[in-house]
Amino acid sequence: MNPEYIFTLFILIVLPLLYLLILTKKTHKNLPPGSWGLPFLGQTLSFLRAMRTNTAENWVQERVKKYGPVSKFNFLGTPTVFLHGQAANKFIYTCDCNTLANQQPTSVRRVMGERNIMELSGIDHKRVRGALVSFLKPEVLKQYVGRMDEEVRKHMEMHWHGKEQVQAMPLMKSLTFNIMSSLIFGVEQGARRDAFVEHFQHIINGVLSMPVNLPFTRFNRSLRASAKVRVMVKELLREKRQALKQQHTSAAASANQDLISCLISLRNEDDSVLLTDEEIIDNALVIMVAGHDTSSILITFMIRLLANDPSVYATIVQEHEEIAKNKASGELLTWEDLAKMKYTWRVAMETLRITPPVFCSFRKVLTDFEYEGYIIPKGWQVMWAACMTQMDEKNFPDPSKFDATRFEKQSPSPPFSFVAFGGGSRMCPGNEFARIETLVTLHYLLSKFTWKLSCRNNSFFRDPMPVFNDGLSIHIKPRKL
Protein backbone atom coordinates (compact mmCIF):
# COMPACT_ATOMS: atom_id res chain seq x y z
CA MET A 1 0.00 0.00 0.00
CA ASN A 2 1.26 3.43 -0.93
CA PRO A 3 2.46 5.26 2.21
CA GLU A 4 0.46 8.32 1.17
CA TYR A 5 -2.71 6.25 1.51
CA ILE A 6 -1.79 5.02 4.97
CA PHE A 7 -1.28 8.58 6.14
CA THR A 8 -4.43 9.66 4.39
CA LEU A 9 -6.44 6.91 6.08
CA PHE A 10 -4.95 7.78 9.43
CA ILE A 11 -5.87 11.41 8.99
CA LEU A 12 -9.29 10.63 7.54
CA ILE A 13 -10.35 8.08 10.14
CA VAL A 14 -8.51 8.20 13.42
CA LEU A 15 -8.10 11.91 13.98
CA PRO A 16 -11.69 12.86 13.11
CA LEU A 17 -12.97 10.05 15.31
CA LEU A 18 -11.21 11.52 18.34
CA TYR A 19 -12.23 15.02 17.37
CA LEU A 20 -15.88 14.09 16.95
CA LEU A 21 -15.95 12.18 20.21
CA ILE A 22 -14.68 15.22 22.06
CA LEU A 23 -16.96 17.65 20.26
CA THR A 24 -20.16 15.67 20.64
CA LYS A 25 -19.57 14.57 24.22
CA LYS A 26 -21.32 17.66 25.50
CA THR A 27 -24.89 16.77 24.63
CA HIS A 28 -26.57 19.66 22.96
CA LYS A 29 -30.29 20.03 23.39
CA ASN A 30 -31.64 20.12 19.93
CA LEU A 31 -29.20 19.13 17.24
CA PRO A 32 -30.44 18.78 13.67
CA PRO A 33 -31.53 15.34 12.47
CA GLY A 34 -29.16 13.09 10.59
CA SER A 35 -26.70 10.41 11.52
CA TRP A 36 -22.95 10.80 11.95
CA GLY A 37 -22.82 7.88 9.59
CA LEU A 38 -20.50 5.43 11.29
CA PRO A 39 -18.12 4.37 10.04
CA PHE A 40 -17.04 7.95 9.69
CA LEU A 41 -15.78 7.78 6.18
CA GLY A 42 -19.16 6.66 4.86
CA GLN A 43 -20.84 9.93 4.02
CA THR A 44 -17.71 11.76 2.92
CA LEU A 45 -17.07 9.05 0.37
CA SER A 46 -20.67 8.87 -0.78
CA PHE A 47 -20.68 12.63 -1.39
CA LEU A 48 -17.35 12.59 -3.23
CA ARG A 49 -18.57 9.64 -5.29
CA ALA A 50 -21.72 11.57 -6.17
CA MET A 51 -19.56 14.52 -7.30
CA ARG A 52 -17.42 12.22 -9.42
CA THR A 53 -20.43 10.63 -11.13
CA ASN A 54 -22.23 13.95 -11.55
CA THR A 55 -25.09 12.88 -9.29
CA ALA A 56 -24.42 15.36 -6.47
CA GLU A 57 -27.85 16.93 -7.08
CA ASN A 58 -29.49 13.56 -6.34
CA TRP A 59 -27.33 13.15 -3.26
CA VAL A 60 -28.61 16.48 -1.95
CA GLN A 61 -32.22 15.75 -2.88
CA GLU A 62 -32.20 12.37 -1.15
CA ARG A 63 -30.72 13.91 1.95
CA VAL A 64 -33.36 16.68 1.99
CA LYS A 65 -36.15 14.16 1.43
CA LYS A 66 -34.93 12.11 4.35
CA TYR A 67 -34.09 14.82 6.89
CA GLY A 68 -35.49 18.11 5.65
CA PRO A 69 -33.55 21.32 4.86
CA VAL A 70 -31.35 21.14 8.00
CA SER A 71 -29.38 18.01 8.79
CA LYS A 72 -26.12 16.97 10.34
CA PHE A 73 -23.44 14.66 9.08
CA ASN A 74 -19.72 14.23 9.13
CA PHE A 75 -17.73 15.58 6.24
CA LEU A 76 -13.98 15.04 5.98
CA GLY A 77 -13.86 14.47 9.71
CA THR A 78 -15.63 17.66 10.78
CA PRO A 79 -19.16 17.72 12.23
CA THR A 80 -21.16 19.46 9.56
CA VAL A 81 -24.63 20.90 9.25
CA PHE A 82 -26.06 20.73 5.75
CA LEU A 83 -28.40 23.63 4.97
CA HIS A 84 -30.63 23.70 1.92
CA GLY A 85 -32.87 26.08 0.03
CA GLN A 86 -33.35 29.74 -0.68
CA ALA A 87 -33.85 30.60 3.01
CA ALA A 88 -30.51 28.96 3.78
CA ASN A 89 -28.78 30.93 1.00
CA LYS A 90 -30.19 34.12 2.41
CA PHE A 91 -29.26 33.23 5.97
CA ILE A 92 -25.66 32.35 5.09
CA TYR A 93 -25.01 35.23 2.69
CA THR A 94 -26.34 37.82 5.12
CA CYS A 95 -25.03 36.27 8.34
CA ASP A 96 -22.67 38.42 10.42
CA CYS A 97 -19.01 37.52 10.63
CA ASN A 98 -19.17 36.79 14.36
CA THR A 99 -21.39 33.79 13.70
CA LEU A 100 -20.03 32.36 10.47
CA ALA A 101 -16.51 32.71 9.07
CA ASN A 102 -15.14 31.61 5.77
CA GLN A 103 -13.29 28.40 6.08
CA GLN A 104 -11.27 26.73 3.42
CA PRO A 105 -9.75 23.29 3.84
CA THR A 106 -6.29 23.28 5.47
CA SER A 107 -4.60 22.59 2.14
CA VAL A 108 -6.08 25.76 0.59
CA ARG A 109 -4.93 27.88 3.51
CA ARG A 110 -1.42 26.48 3.45
CA VAL A 111 -0.96 26.77 -0.32
CA MET A 112 -2.62 30.18 -0.79
CA GLY A 113 -1.35 31.76 2.41
CA GLU A 114 -2.94 32.97 5.64
CA ARG A 115 -3.68 36.45 4.32
CA ASN A 116 -5.68 35.46 1.27
CA ILE A 117 -9.14 37.02 1.11
CA MET A 118 -10.93 33.73 1.64
CA GLU A 119 -9.31 33.40 5.07
CA LEU A 120 -10.05 36.93 6.22
CA SER A 121 -13.13 38.27 7.95
CA GLY A 122 -14.40 41.53 9.42
CA ILE A 123 -12.45 44.71 8.72
CA ASP A 124 -9.47 42.86 7.25
CA HIS A 125 -11.77 41.23 4.71
CA LYS A 126 -13.38 44.59 3.92
CA ARG A 127 -10.01 46.28 3.39
CA VAL A 128 -8.53 43.59 1.15
CA ARG A 129 -11.77 43.18 -0.78
CA GLY A 130 -11.97 46.94 -1.31
CA ALA A 131 -8.43 46.91 -2.70
CA LEU A 132 -9.20 44.07 -5.12
CA VAL A 133 -12.46 45.69 -6.23
CA SER A 134 -10.65 48.96 -6.95
CA PHE A 135 -9.04 47.01 -9.80
CA LEU A 136 -11.90 44.63 -10.65
CA LYS A 137 -14.65 47.24 -10.98
CA PRO A 138 -16.17 47.91 -14.43
CA GLU A 139 -14.85 51.49 -14.69
CA VAL A 140 -11.29 50.16 -14.48
CA LEU A 141 -11.79 46.92 -16.38
CA LYS A 142 -13.32 48.64 -19.39
CA GLN A 143 -9.87 49.88 -20.40
CA TYR A 144 -8.63 46.27 -20.68
CA VAL A 145 -11.06 45.05 -23.31
CA GLY A 146 -8.43 45.62 -26.01
CA ARG A 147 -5.77 43.68 -24.12
CA MET A 148 -8.11 40.76 -23.62
CA ASP A 149 -8.94 40.93 -27.32
CA GLU A 150 -5.25 40.65 -28.22
CA GLU A 151 -4.77 37.65 -25.92
CA VAL A 152 -7.79 35.87 -27.43
CA ARG A 153 -6.63 36.45 -31.01
CA LYS A 154 -3.07 35.34 -30.23
CA HIS A 155 -4.48 32.22 -28.61
CA MET A 156 -6.61 31.36 -31.66
CA GLU A 157 -3.71 32.02 -34.01
CA MET A 158 -1.56 29.54 -32.04
CA HIS A 159 -4.03 26.84 -31.05
CA TRP A 160 -7.04 26.91 -33.39
CA HIS A 161 -6.02 28.06 -36.85
CA GLY A 162 -5.06 25.20 -39.15
CA LYS A 163 -6.46 22.57 -36.77
CA GLU A 164 -9.33 20.16 -37.43
CA GLN A 165 -9.85 18.94 -33.90
CA VAL A 166 -9.13 20.57 -30.54
CA GLN A 167 -9.91 19.93 -26.88
CA ALA A 168 -11.98 22.87 -25.69
CA MET A 169 -11.49 22.51 -21.94
CA PRO A 170 -7.67 22.55 -21.68
CA LEU A 171 -7.47 25.27 -24.34
CA MET A 172 -9.90 27.52 -22.48
CA LYS A 173 -7.92 26.99 -19.28
CA SER A 174 -4.77 28.02 -21.04
CA LEU A 175 -6.49 31.07 -22.56
CA THR A 176 -7.97 32.35 -19.30
CA PHE A 177 -4.65 31.74 -17.57
CA ASN A 178 -2.88 33.88 -20.15
CA ILE A 179 -5.43 36.67 -19.88
CA MET A 180 -5.01 36.70 -16.12
CA SER A 181 -1.24 36.50 -16.30
CA SER A 182 -1.28 39.65 -18.39
CA LEU A 183 -3.83 41.62 -16.34
CA ILE A 184 -3.09 40.37 -12.83
CA PHE A 185 0.70 40.04 -12.93
CA GLY A 186 1.51 42.12 -15.99
CA VAL A 187 3.50 39.15 -17.29
CA GLU A 188 3.32 38.70 -21.06
CA GLN A 189 4.19 35.74 -23.28
CA GLY A 190 7.68 34.41 -22.60
CA ALA A 191 9.85 32.40 -20.24
CA ARG A 192 8.44 33.97 -17.13
CA ARG A 193 4.86 33.17 -18.07
CA ASP A 194 5.85 29.60 -18.96
CA ALA A 195 7.32 29.18 -15.49
CA PHE A 196 4.13 30.54 -13.96
CA VAL A 197 2.02 28.08 -15.98
CA GLU A 198 4.04 25.15 -14.75
CA HIS A 199 4.03 26.20 -11.09
CA PHE A 200 0.33 27.02 -11.07
CA GLN A 201 -0.48 23.59 -12.49
CA HIS A 202 1.23 22.03 -9.45
CA ILE A 203 -0.46 24.52 -7.13
CA ILE A 204 -3.92 23.69 -8.49
CA ASN A 205 -3.29 19.94 -8.35
CA GLY A 206 -2.60 20.16 -4.64
CA VAL A 207 -4.92 22.92 -3.51
CA LEU A 208 -7.55 20.40 -2.50
CA SER A 209 -5.50 17.52 -1.24
CA MET A 210 -4.86 15.78 2.04
CA PRO A 211 -2.52 18.12 3.91
CA VAL A 212 0.26 15.57 4.37
CA ASN A 213 3.58 17.31 3.88
CA LEU A 214 5.91 14.53 2.79
CA PRO A 215 8.22 14.69 -0.22
CA PHE A 216 6.07 12.43 -2.42
CA THR A 217 2.64 13.98 -1.84
CA ARG A 218 0.64 16.29 -4.10
CA PHE A 219 0.41 18.65 -1.17
CA ASN A 220 4.17 18.94 -0.81
CA ARG A 221 4.60 19.56 -4.55
CA SER A 222 1.89 22.20 -4.37
CA LEU A 223 3.61 23.92 -1.43
CA ARG A 224 6.93 23.89 -3.26
CA ALA A 225 5.34 25.40 -6.37
CA SER A 226 3.63 28.01 -4.23
CA ALA A 227 6.98 28.93 -2.66
CA LYS A 228 8.52 29.36 -6.11
CA VAL A 229 5.65 31.55 -7.32
CA ARG A 230 6.01 33.68 -4.21
CA VAL A 231 9.66 34.33 -4.99
CA MET A 232 8.71 35.30 -8.55
CA VAL A 233 5.92 37.63 -7.42
CA LYS A 234 8.24 39.27 -4.87
CA GLU A 235 10.63 40.04 -7.69
CA LEU A 236 7.71 41.45 -9.70
CA LEU A 237 6.79 43.70 -6.78
CA ARG A 238 10.35 45.04 -6.70
CA GLU A 239 10.43 45.70 -10.44
CA LYS A 240 7.02 47.35 -10.50
CA ARG A 241 7.82 49.61 -7.55
CA GLN A 242 10.90 50.75 -9.38
CA ALA A 243 8.98 51.31 -12.60
CA LEU A 244 6.34 53.33 -10.80
CA LYS A 245 9.00 55.49 -9.16
CA GLN A 246 10.38 56.34 -12.58
CA GLN A 247 6.88 56.88 -13.88
CA HIS A 248 7.45 60.49 -14.79
CA THR A 249 10.27 59.50 -17.14
CA SER A 250 8.59 56.53 -18.77
CA ALA A 251 5.08 56.37 -20.06
CA ALA A 252 5.08 52.57 -19.80
CA ALA A 253 4.37 52.23 -16.10
CA SER A 254 1.03 53.11 -14.65
CA ALA A 255 -0.70 52.13 -11.44
CA ASN A 256 -3.57 50.70 -13.44
CA GLN A 257 -1.68 48.52 -15.85
CA ASP A 258 -2.16 45.33 -13.82
CA LEU A 259 -3.53 44.22 -10.46
CA ILE A 260 -0.12 44.11 -8.77
CA SER A 261 0.79 47.65 -9.83
CA CYS A 262 -2.61 48.77 -8.62
CA LEU A 263 -2.24 47.10 -5.21
CA ILE A 264 1.25 48.46 -4.51
CA SER A 265 0.01 51.97 -5.27
CA LEU A 266 -2.89 51.94 -2.80
CA ARG A 267 -2.31 54.06 0.32
CA ASN A 268 -4.16 54.92 3.50
CA GLU A 269 -4.91 58.54 4.33
CA ASP A 270 -1.71 58.78 6.37
CA ASP A 271 0.24 57.53 3.31
CA SER A 272 1.00 54.12 4.83
CA VAL A 273 0.54 51.14 2.50
CA LEU A 274 -2.98 49.68 2.39
CA LEU A 275 -1.88 46.07 1.85
CA THR A 276 1.28 44.36 3.10
CA ASP A 277 3.47 42.53 0.60
CA GLU A 278 2.28 39.24 2.06
CA GLU A 279 -1.33 40.25 1.43
CA ILE A 280 -0.58 41.30 -2.14
CA ILE A 281 1.16 38.01 -2.89
CA ASP A 282 -1.46 35.77 -1.23
CA ASN A 283 -4.31 37.51 -2.99
CA ALA A 284 -2.64 37.58 -6.39
CA LEU A 285 -2.31 33.79 -6.03
CA VAL A 286 -5.93 33.36 -5.03
CA ILE A 287 -7.17 35.48 -7.90
CA MET A 288 -5.13 33.51 -10.41
CA VAL A 289 -6.65 30.25 -9.18
CA ALA A 290 -10.20 31.49 -8.45
CA GLY A 291 -10.34 33.35 -11.74
CA HIS A 292 -9.06 31.05 -14.43
CA ASP A 293 -10.56 27.76 -13.32
CA THR A 294 -14.12 29.18 -13.28
CA SER A 295 -14.48 31.32 -16.41
CA SER A 296 -12.77 28.63 -18.50
CA ILE A 297 -15.47 26.22 -17.35
CA LEU A 298 -18.26 28.63 -18.21
CA ILE A 299 -16.87 29.14 -21.73
CA THR A 300 -16.47 25.38 -22.23
CA PHE A 301 -20.08 24.74 -21.20
CA MET A 302 -21.14 27.42 -23.69
CA ILE A 303 -19.13 25.74 -26.46
CA ARG A 304 -20.95 22.49 -25.66
CA LEU A 305 -24.34 24.17 -25.55
CA LEU A 306 -23.86 25.95 -28.88
CA ALA A 307 -22.94 22.66 -30.54
CA ASN A 308 -26.09 21.02 -29.18
CA ASP A 309 -28.69 23.77 -29.52
CA PRO A 310 -29.17 25.09 -33.08
CA SER A 311 -31.75 27.71 -32.11
CA VAL A 312 -29.56 29.36 -29.47
CA TYR A 313 -26.68 29.13 -31.92
CA ALA A 314 -28.61 30.90 -34.67
CA THR A 315 -29.57 33.80 -32.41
CA ILE A 316 -26.14 34.24 -30.87
CA VAL A 317 -24.34 34.15 -34.23
CA GLN A 318 -26.62 36.88 -35.50
CA GLU A 319 -25.64 39.11 -32.58
CA HIS A 320 -21.96 38.66 -33.42
CA GLU A 321 -22.41 39.08 -37.16
CA GLU A 322 -24.02 42.40 -36.43
CA ILE A 323 -20.97 43.52 -34.43
CA ALA A 324 -18.36 42.09 -36.81
CA LYS A 325 -20.07 43.80 -39.75
CA ASN A 326 -19.20 47.21 -38.37
CA LYS A 327 -15.55 46.51 -37.66
CA ALA A 328 -12.55 46.75 -39.89
CA SER A 329 -10.45 43.60 -39.97
CA GLY A 330 -7.99 43.64 -37.09
CA GLU A 331 -9.90 46.33 -35.21
CA LEU A 332 -10.07 45.61 -31.48
CA LEU A 333 -13.35 45.08 -29.66
CA THR A 334 -14.43 47.93 -27.40
CA TRP A 335 -16.48 48.33 -24.25
CA GLU A 336 -19.35 49.56 -26.43
CA ASP A 337 -19.21 46.39 -28.53
CA LEU A 338 -19.55 44.30 -25.37
CA ALA A 339 -22.62 46.26 -24.37
CA LYS A 340 -24.26 45.01 -27.57
CA MET A 341 -23.69 41.36 -26.65
CA LYS A 342 -26.79 41.21 -24.48
CA TYR A 343 -28.10 37.89 -25.71
CA THR A 344 -24.65 36.29 -25.37
CA TRP A 345 -24.46 37.26 -21.71
CA ARG A 346 -27.98 35.92 -21.11
CA VAL A 347 -26.88 32.63 -22.60
CA ALA A 348 -23.91 32.71 -20.22
CA MET A 349 -26.18 33.37 -17.23
CA GLU A 350 -28.52 30.57 -18.21
CA THR A 351 -25.48 28.30 -18.62
CA LEU A 352 -24.31 29.29 -15.12
CA ARG A 353 -27.80 28.56 -13.81
CA ILE A 354 -28.00 25.02 -15.18
CA THR A 355 -24.32 24.04 -14.91
CA PRO A 356 -22.74 26.21 -12.18
CA PRO A 357 -18.94 25.82 -11.91
CA VAL A 358 -19.08 26.01 -8.09
CA PHE A 359 -21.33 23.36 -6.54
CA CYS A 360 -20.97 23.62 -2.79
CA SER A 361 -19.32 25.89 -0.25
CA PHE A 362 -18.34 25.89 3.39
CA ARG A 363 -18.34 28.20 6.39
CA LYS A 364 -17.11 27.72 9.95
CA VAL A 365 -19.40 28.20 12.96
CA LEU A 366 -17.81 30.68 15.40
CA THR A 367 -20.60 30.80 18.01
CA ASP A 368 -23.60 28.55 18.73
CA PHE A 369 -26.63 29.71 16.78
CA GLU A 370 -30.21 28.64 16.30
CA TYR A 371 -31.59 27.89 12.87
CA GLU A 372 -35.13 26.64 12.22
CA GLY A 373 -35.37 25.60 15.86
CA TYR A 374 -32.12 23.62 15.87
CA ILE A 375 -28.94 24.48 17.73
CA ILE A 376 -25.82 24.55 15.57
CA PRO A 377 -22.80 24.40 17.86
CA LYS A 378 -19.58 26.37 17.63
CA GLY A 379 -16.79 24.42 15.94
CA TRP A 380 -19.04 22.75 13.38
CA GLN A 381 -18.94 23.63 9.71
CA VAL A 382 -21.81 24.70 7.49
CA MET A 383 -22.01 23.13 4.08
CA TRP A 384 -24.52 24.06 1.42
CA ALA A 385 -25.09 23.63 -2.28
CA ALA A 386 -26.25 27.16 -3.02
CA CYS A 387 -26.94 26.58 -6.71
CA MET A 388 -29.61 23.95 -6.09
CA THR A 389 -32.10 26.82 -5.86
CA GLN A 390 -31.38 27.50 -9.53
CA MET A 391 -33.05 24.21 -10.46
CA ASP A 392 -36.07 24.73 -8.20
CA GLU A 393 -39.27 25.27 -10.19
CA LYS A 394 -40.51 27.76 -7.61
CA ASN A 395 -37.70 30.08 -8.67
CA PHE A 396 -37.29 29.11 -12.33
CA PRO A 397 -40.35 27.51 -13.94
CA ASP A 398 -39.55 24.43 -16.03
CA PRO A 399 -36.01 24.49 -14.60
CA SER A 400 -34.31 21.93 -16.83
CA LYS A 401 -35.30 23.80 -19.99
CA PHE A 402 -32.54 26.04 -21.38
CA ASP A 403 -34.16 29.41 -21.88
CA ALA A 404 -31.89 32.46 -22.03
CA THR A 405 -34.87 34.83 -22.22
CA ARG A 406 -35.42 34.30 -18.49
CA PHE A 407 -32.66 36.84 -18.00
CA GLU A 408 -34.38 39.54 -20.02
CA LYS A 409 -36.32 40.50 -16.93
CA GLN A 410 -34.85 42.96 -14.43
CA SER A 411 -35.15 40.44 -11.59
CA PRO A 412 -35.56 37.03 -13.21
CA SER A 413 -35.94 35.19 -9.91
CA PRO A 414 -36.47 35.76 -6.17
CA PRO A 415 -33.49 37.13 -4.20
CA PHE A 416 -30.76 34.60 -3.29
CA SER A 417 -32.03 32.05 -5.80
CA PHE A 418 -29.59 32.80 -8.67
CA VAL A 419 -26.28 32.37 -6.84
CA ALA A 420 -23.71 31.15 -9.35
CA PHE A 421 -21.52 34.06 -8.17
CA GLY A 422 -22.49 33.65 -4.50
CA GLY A 423 -24.15 36.50 -2.64
CA GLY A 424 -23.85 39.09 0.11
CA SER A 425 -20.55 40.54 1.28
CA ARG A 426 -18.56 37.68 -0.21
CA MET A 427 -20.16 37.63 -3.61
CA CYS A 428 -17.65 37.01 -6.37
CA PRO A 429 -15.81 40.28 -7.10
CA GLY A 430 -14.57 38.81 -10.40
CA ASN A 431 -17.96 38.60 -12.14
CA GLU A 432 -17.33 41.62 -14.36
CA PHE A 433 -13.89 40.30 -15.28
CA ALA A 434 -15.50 36.95 -16.13
CA ARG A 435 -18.15 38.70 -18.22
CA ILE A 436 -15.62 40.58 -20.32
CA GLU A 437 -13.37 37.61 -21.03
CA THR A 438 -16.35 35.36 -21.81
CA LEU A 439 -17.85 37.84 -24.28
CA VAL A 440 -14.57 38.58 -26.04
CA THR A 441 -13.75 34.87 -26.35
CA LEU A 442 -17.21 33.97 -27.63
CA HIS A 443 -17.02 36.73 -30.21
CA TYR A 444 -13.87 35.33 -31.80
CA LEU A 445 -14.95 31.69 -31.51
CA LEU A 446 -18.23 32.48 -33.27
CA SER A 447 -16.74 34.73 -35.92
CA LYS A 448 -13.77 32.57 -36.86
CA PHE A 449 -15.03 28.99 -36.48
CA THR A 450 -17.91 26.58 -36.55
CA TRP A 451 -17.68 23.43 -34.47
CA LYS A 452 -19.23 20.04 -33.78
CA LEU A 453 -18.68 17.82 -30.76
CA SER A 454 -16.47 14.94 -31.79
CA CYS A 455 -17.18 12.66 -28.86
CA ARG A 456 -20.58 11.02 -28.40
CA ASN A 457 -20.30 11.17 -24.62
CA ASN A 458 -20.03 14.83 -23.66
CA SER A 459 -20.95 14.38 -20.00
CA PHE A 460 -18.88 15.80 -17.16
CA PHE A 461 -18.13 15.08 -13.53
CA ARG A 462 -16.92 17.21 -10.60
CA ASP A 463 -13.44 16.91 -9.11
CA PRO A 464 -14.50 19.26 -7.42
CA MET A 465 -14.65 21.54 -10.49
CA PRO A 466 -16.39 20.18 -13.60
CA VAL A 467 -14.20 17.96 -15.77
CA PHE A 468 -15.21 16.75 -19.25
CA ASN A 469 -14.62 13.32 -20.65
CA ASP A 470 -11.92 13.76 -23.28
CA GLY A 471 -11.54 17.49 -22.48
CA LEU A 472 -14.59 18.16 -24.67
CA SER A 473 -13.09 17.37 -28.07
CA ILE A 474 -14.55 19.30 -30.98
CA HIS A 475 -14.15 19.28 -34.76
CA ILE A 476 -13.60 22.80 -35.99
CA LYS A 477 -13.88 24.52 -39.37
CA PRO A 478 -12.76 28.06 -40.15
CA ARG A 479 -15.45 30.49 -41.27
CA LYS A 480 -15.49 34.07 -42.39
CA LEU A 481 -17.92 36.47 -40.76
Query: CA 87, CA 65: separation in Å to the nearest integer?
Result: 17
Q: Whose Cβ is closer to ligand NAG: residue 215's or residue 373's?
A: 215
| Shortest separation between residue 376's beta carbon and ligand HEM, angstroms | 18
Shorter beta-carbon distance to ligand HEM: residue 324 or 352: 352
Using rule CB under 6 A, residue 454 touches ligand NAG: no
Q: Helix/strand/coil (H, E, C) string of the chain?
A: CCHHHHHHHHHHHHHHHHHHHHHHHCCCCCCCCCCCCCCCHHHHHHHHHHHHCCCHHHHHHHHHHHHCCEEEEEECCEEEEEECCHHHHHHHHHCCCCCEEECCCHHHHHHHCCCCHHHCCHHHHHHHHHHHHHHHCHHHHHHHHHHHHHHHHHHHHHHCCCCCEEEHHHHHHHHHHHHHHHHHHCCCCCHHHHHHHHHHHHHHHHHCCCCCCCCCCHHHHHHHHHHHHHHHHHHHHHHHHHHHHCCCCCCCCCCCCCHHHHHHHCECCCCCECCCHHHHHHHHHHHHHHHHHHHHHHHHHHHHHHHHCHHHHHHHHHHHHHHHHCCCCCCCCCHHHHHCCHHHHHHHHHHHHHCCCCCCEEEEECCCEEECCEEECCCCEEEECHHHHHHCCCCCCCCCCCCHHHHHCCCCCCCCCCCCCCCHHHCCCCHHHHHHHHHHHHHHHHHHEEEEECCCCCCEEECCCEEEHHHCEEEEEECCC
Which of the choices ligand HEM, ligand NAG, none does residue 459 contact, using the CB cut-off of 5 to 8 A by kind?
ligand NAG
Task: Provide the mask over 360-389, with x wherever binding to ligand HEM is found by CB under 6 A and - wherever it is not.
Answer: -x----------------------------
If one asks whether residue 223 binds ligand NAG (CB under 6 A), the answer comes out as yes
Which residue's C-beta sits nearest to ligand HEM?
430
Looking at the Cβ atoms of 40 and 359, the one nearer to ligand HEM is: 359
Q: How far is the CB of 471 from ligand NAG (least distance, A)?
A: 12
Question: Interface with ligand HEM includes 430 (CB under 6 A)?
Answer: yes
Which residue's CB is nearer to ligand HEM, number 101 or number 481?
101
Q: Which stretch binds ligand NAG (CB under 6 A): 209-217, 313-321, 326-334, 378-386?
A: 209-217
Minimum Å gap between C-beta 54 and ligand NAG is 8
CA distance 73 to 37: 7
Nearest approach, Cβ of residue 5 and ligand NAG (Å): 17
- Site mask, ligand HEM, residues 123-142, x = CB under 6 A? ------x------x------
Applying CB under 6 A, does 314 fall inside the site for ligand NAG?
no
Interface with ligand NAG in residues 224-263 (CB under 6 A): 224, 227
Q: In the complex, what is the shortest distance from the CB of residue 358 to ligand HEM, in angstroms, rounded to a whole number?
A: 4
CB closer to ligand NAG out of 301 and 371: 301
Number of chain positions touching ligand HEM (CB under 6 A)? 24
Choose which of 428, 440, 442, 446 interacts with ligand HEM (CB under 6 A): 428
- Which option in ligand NAG, ligand HEM, none does residue 213 bind, with CB closer than 5 to 8 A by kind? ligand NAG
- Is there a binding annotation on residue 360? no
* Interface with ligand NAG (CB under 6 A), residue from 43, 181, 220, 390: 220
Q: Could you tell me which residues are annotated as the binding site for heme?
A: 428
Residues that bind ligand HEM (CB under 6 A): 117-118, 129, 136, 286-287, 290-291, 294-295, 298, 352, 357-358, 361, 420-422, 426, 428-430, 433-434
Binding residues, by number, are 428
